[in-house]
Amino acid sequence: MGKAFAWCILILTFSTCYEVFMRYVLNAPTVWAFDMSVQMYGALFMMSGAYALSQGAHVRGDVVYRIMPKKVQASVDLVLYVLFLGPGAFALLYYGYGFASDSWFYKEVSWSSPSRIQIYFFKTLIPVSGLLILLQGFAEATRCVICIKTGEWPARLHDVQEAETMLLHRQEDKDDFEPKNGMEAEK
C-alpha cells in the first residue's frame, strides 16, 4: 500500500507545478490545487506509515540502541510495539472508523475551501492506515520474537533506498571483498 500511495508524490508535483504556472504566469490561480495538495499529502502520510515500519525507516534514538546485543534490541522493540504501537494503531482503527463513518453519513466537505471538496473518501484512510499499521506491527513483533529466540534479526525485503544509503552499502560491500595485503593496508 505504501508503494501504491507513493504515486501521490507525482500527483502532488504535477498539481503544484500546474498551480504555480497558472498563478504566476497566467495570473489565474485555481481554487482546487491547495485542497488537492493537502488531501494527497495526508493520504501519502497516512498510508506510508506501515510501509516505513516494514522497511525499518521510522526515526529512532540509535545512540544507545545500536550498541545493545540483538536479543536486547528485539526485547526493547517488542515491549515498545506492545505498549505504544499496538494501542496507537488500535486507536487509529477504532476512532478513525467513527470519524470516517460520520463523514460518510454527512457526505462531509471541506469547510475551509472555496471549492468545498468532498473529504469523506480521505477520512476513510484513517482506519485503513490503522489496520495496516496494526498488521505490520504484528509482523514486526514476530520478527522480534524470532530474534529473541535465534539471536539474529530475520532479513528484511530490500526495496528502494535513498541514494546516499545505497552508495554507502555499495562501498561497504566493495570494501568487504577487496583483498587486504600489506601494501594496500598501509595506504
Each as own residue / partner, the long-range contacts of residues 24-33 (CB below 8 Å, 24 or more positions apart, any chain) are 31/113, 31/114, 31/115, 32/115, 32/117
Cross-strand bridge partners of residue 118: 109
Q: What is the pLDDT of residue 118?
A: 84
C-alpha cell at 113: 475551501
pLDDT exceeds cutoff 80 at 16: yes
Burial string for 84-94 (b: 16+ CB within 10 Å, else e) reads ebbeebeebbe
Name the maximum alpha-carbon separation found in the chain.
76
Query: Residue 129 and residue 18: Cα distance in Å, rounded?
Result: 29
Checking if the pLDDT of 141 tops 90, the result is yes
**pTM as predicted:** 0.75
Q: Note the pLDDT tens digit of each residue in 30-44.
A: 888 888 888 888 888
Q: How confident is the model at residue 176 (pLDDT cuts 50, 70, 90)?
A: low
Question: Does residue 137 carry a pLDDT above 70?
Answer: yes
Handedness of CA 65, 68, 74, 78 (dihedral sign): negative
Angle subtended at Cα 9 by Cα 89 and Cα 103, rounded to the nearest 5 degrees? 50
pLDDT-above-90 percentage for the chain: 41
